[in-house]
Amino acid sequence: MKAAKAGTKAKAGTKAKAATTATNAKAATNAKAATNAKAGTKSKAATESKAAATTAKGATTAKAAAPRKAPKAESHLAMVRRARRINRELAEIYPYAHPELDFRNPFELLVATVLSAQTTDLRVNQTTPALFAAYPTPEDMAAAVPEEMEEIIRPTGFFRAKTKSLLGLSAALRDEFGGEVPGRLEDLVKLPGVGRKTANVVLGNAFGVPGITVDTHFGRLVRRWKWTDEEDPVKVEAVVAGIFPKSEWTMLSHRVVFHGRRICHARKPACGACPIAPLCPSYGEGETDPEKAGKLLKYEMGGYPGQRLSPPADYPGKPAPALGAG
């Protein structure tokens, strides 16, 4: 009886132990499943987060790669108004604007303008005192010995070609115009070495006949200001003539050239020191830092001598030095 009872207790203990083991195994299985489920959730979240980041990055890249929206095209009327405002601003900045060649009469201006091709006005002004001392009239110049004239004008460059032009135009003035410079464009452009630009310089400044002088400075600036995209000087002249009244043509030419020589340079315009920057669609092509831009200013704007040895009385800068004086 005792043996049977002991067997029963042993059997019961074995069942209890088995039950406990099963329970522990089930708990371990559940814990592992829970851990795996949690890990899977984290992995899924990480994957989704990475995918979202990739999508966002792709969207940003696409946005950056997308072309910028083009600025609204300026109407012709708006351009004309802006151009005329630029002219008014330039008139306040350069009230003393003038032709930067020294001359005392139409003949001297004509000769000086022919000499100014492919050189600076300063070099011409330093050369013409000796030239006009030797040949003060068309008759004197027409009778000059070519080699002697070449030596005088050598500093201006291309002196042989220029000597030929000066001898030819002087002879034409002597023989066809009574030794006087004609006051009509159609007559001036027939003279050797005289083109439309030179003719307009002479007409506007020696005869008071309005004209637009399209030199390299003028052409460069009107294209920067988007007045025209024409390259041909005759076409540029025609376009600009249609924007401004005739009475403004000569002084407009001086103002634009003054600005091109002093501030709006070809290679490195001084944008940060430009008074008309708010009106310029090309602002930023040059130096925009005011202090650095200020160091780029030339002639009287930068505190340096101008190009004329004998500037007008209202010129605020210093006269240029004579040849060999520095």
Catalytic option among 164, 187, 215, 292: 215
Quick check: is 102 catalytic? no
For helices 106-115 and 196-206, the axis angle rounded to 10 degrees is 150
Helices (H), the chain: 2-65, 76-93, 106-115, 121-134, 138-142, 146-153, 159-176, 185-188, 196-206, 216-224, 233-241, 249-262, 290-294
Quick check: is 197 catalytic? yes
Burial class (CB in 10 A: 0-12, 13-18, 19+), 241: middle
* Gyration radius of the chain over CA positions: 42
Catalytic option among 102, 121, 162, 197: 197
**What are the C-alpha distances in Å from 33 to residues 25, 39, 41, 179?**
12, 10, 12, 115
- β-strand partners of 318: 305
Token pair in block for residue 69: 């929206």
Positions annotated as catalytic residues are: 197, 215
